[in-house]
Amino acid sequence: MESLKILFVSMSDIGGSHPIIGLAIALRNKGHEVFIATERSWEGKFEKYGLKEKVYDERDINCDTLKDNSVLICSLLEAIKKGPIEICLAVDSLMPTFAQTAKISSFQIKQIIECVKPDVIVENSLIMIPAVLASNIPLVRMFTTQPLFGMDDERLPPSSFGLPTNDDKDWSRFLTEAMLELKIILLILRA
C-alpha cells in the first residue's frame, strides 16, 4: 500500500477534535504521514499521541478561544432545557459564528496546506473552510459533532435534538412539540 500524506482539519471543539485522534492514529499506524491542523488552544493535545501538529489561530489573537467556546456551549445547553424550537434556533444562531471562524482561519489553513502538501485532506467541520475547497486536493468530509445534521430520513431522529438513534419513542413527541411551538410563533407573528 502506498503511503499517503494526510492533513486533518477540524473544528476546535471537543466534538470535532477528539474523534479525529483515533482515526489519525490508525492511519499513522498503517504507515501514512499524518498532520493535524489545530487551533492554538489545542496546541500540544495531538502531539502527545505522536501526531504532527500545524497550529493556526481561529480567532483574533486578543480573543480567549476557550471562553468563547464556553459561552457557545452554555447557550446551547440553555436552549436544550427549553424545547425543540429553541434548540433549532440556538443551532441556527451559531451559523454566522461558524462561517466567520471558517473565513478567519482560511488564509492560515491555506498556508498549512501549501507547507504540508497533503495527498488527502480530512475535514471535520460543519462549515467548509474555503482554503480546503479551493485546494483541489482529494477531500474526505465528516461532521462528528452532529453526524445526523442535515439528514432527513424517517429512520433517523430529527437533527439537532440530541435524540438517540436506537430508540425512537421520543421522536414523534419532539416533532409534535416543535410543530406546535412553530404554529404558536406563526400565530403571534400574524397578530
Q: Which tens digits make up the pLDDT trace of 75-98?
A: 666 766 666 666 666 766 777 777
Topology at the third CATH level for domain 5-189:
Rossmann fold (3.40.50)
pLDDT (tens digit, 9 = 90+) per residue, 127-185? 888 999 999 999 998 877 665 565 566 776 766 666 667 777 776 777 777 667 667 76
- Residue 34 CA to residue 111 CA, distance in Å, equals 17
For the question of whether the overall pTM of this predicted structure is more than 0.75, the answer is no
Cell match 454566522: residue? 96
- Residue 31 CA to residue 139 CA, distance in Å, equals 19
The answer for residues whose C-beta is within 8 angstroms of residue 14's C-beta and 6 or more apart is none
